[in-house]
Amino acid sequence: MRRIFAAVLLTNTSLTAFLAAIAWEALRLTNSAGGPSTAFALGSAASLVVGPLLGVRVDRLGPHRAFRISQSMTGTVALGFAG
C-alpha cells in the first residue's frame, strides 16, 4: 500500500507542476486570462478521447509497466517543454 501511495503522490505532484507550467506558458503566449483555460479544456478533451484507449493498453501492459512508461513519457514531455 505504501508503494501505491508513493506512486500516486509522485504522479499527482508531477502532474500539478506540469499543469502549472502549462498555465503560465499559455498566459505568457496569449497575454489573456483565457489562455490557461483554453489549454486545460484542450487537455481535458484529449483525455476524454485517449482515456479509453489507454485503459486497454494498461490492461495489456500491466500496472507496473504502464506506470513506468507513463512516468517516462511525462518526464520526456516536461523536459521538452522546458527546453
Residue boundaries of the structural domains of the chain: 2-82
Binning pLDDT at 50, 70 and 90, where does residue 2 land? confident
Is the pTM of the predicted complex or chain greater than 0.75?
A: no
Q: Which residue has the cell 503522490?
A: 9
Instruction: Round the average pLDDT of the chain to a whole number and report it.
Output: 83
What does the pLDDT look like over 10-43, one tens digit per residue? 878 877 887 888 888 888 888 988 888 888 888 8
